[in-house]
Amino acid sequence: MRRLITAHSIIVPTPAGPALLHHSCLLIEDGIIAGITRRDESALPAHDAHDDYPDATLSPAFLDIHIHGAVNHDVMEGTPAALDAVGRFLAGRGVGAYFPTTVTAPIDATLYALAGLARIITRPDHPGARPLGIHLEGPFLSHAKRGVHSLGLLQKPSIELFTRFWEASEGHIRLMTIAPEIEGAPELIAHATSLGVRVSLGHSNATTAEAERGIAAGACSATHTYNAMRALDHRDPGLLGTVLDTDSLYAELICDGIHVHPALVRLFWKAKGRHRAILVTDGISATGMPDGEYLLGGMAVTVKEGRCTHEGVLSGSVLTLDRAVQNFCRFTSATLDEIVSAVTGNPAALSGVSDTQGALAQSRSADITVLTPDGEIAAVYLHGENILA
């Protein structure tokens, strides 16, 4: 089956970063991208089906590396039914792959969830967005900046405990959030990094020096920048100042207009730019659901008018990545081709999956999100099939 997709433009990788290829066409053969060219109406490639999006842009399918659940399912359930429901919902919002993200829980519950997620990740087929790896958020977090994570369940960084998590996950932990100032954190960061885990600094009250030690040990990203971090101080910028000032560091942002003021979204964009900014949702089980009471791990979360709280503390979001892109463009005046890297190539590069994710290129799976000029989802193709048709 040869399917031709024509569009106003395609976001393609270049040595300088993603760029727009105008008046373009993309050929899919048996679910794989067979070619990307400029369109010449007199010589379109031979095809069996033709989908035309004259005003739209073809983007790589999105990658969400920080999400706890959706449609009344939490990834800590660790079951195929839960992950399949989450994956189907995410695919409809332009996401082709994601990292199911844990929350601090009793050790046995975390081990159970990790084992269940590992079994699902290794399945050959997924109905919707594919879980690629696990983001371990907690339990190695700061007491002072734990956010909604349960105080009594936090743990000191421990290579022994991490090894139990790693073995339960069958090596599928790809990203870990940790507070670098806690005793034992630099050693655990170095150990996890040696296994290929990408380490992100977050839920942290770290000083500048403590943040720098975490980076020296191997940390390469920051978790939901601004949120659950020591406030910026002009004499000791702390983790936040270090994140904004360190060009090599990737950084997540929750762009829902609730977690971060638009003015600081603009500052984030100026600091991290199109090569290091990453948009995430931090979505919970309430995503895609009406206001009400939902669970994040084992914690009850109240959702009202888009705000998720547990005992008055912000507790994730109901944001979707397509809305995050639209919000970011509105807050910053960034163009679609500039910001799409924050939900495609940048999270792929950070997490070490750039060989299969984050770019439209020949011989890769045809996982494509079709965006209108306003950033709305016009279509989503996973392995060459339009799942919204």
Q: How is residue 127 annotated by DSSP? A: S
The whole-angstrom separation of Cα 97 and Cα 77 is: 19
CA distances from 28 to 65, 93, 184, 370 (A): 27, 21, 49, 15
Q: Are 177 and 141 in contact (CB under 8 A)?
A: yes
Q: Under DSSP, is residue 181 helix (H, G, I), strand (E, B) or coil?
A: coil
Q: How is residue 103 annotated by DSSP? A: -
Q: Which of 64, 74, 282, 367 is catalytic?
A: 282
Identify whether 282 is a catalytic site residue. yes
CB-based burial of residue 337 (10 Å sphere; 0-12 exposed, 13-18 middle, 19+ buried)?
A: buried
Query: Which conformational region is residue 61 in: left (phi greater than 0), alpha (psi within -120 to 50 degrees), or beta?
Result: beta
Radius of gyration (C-alpha) of the chain in whole angstroms: 20
The whole-angstrom separation of Cα 105 and Cα 304 is: 25
The whole-angstrom separation of Cα 160 and Cα 163 is: 5
Residues marked active site are found at: 282
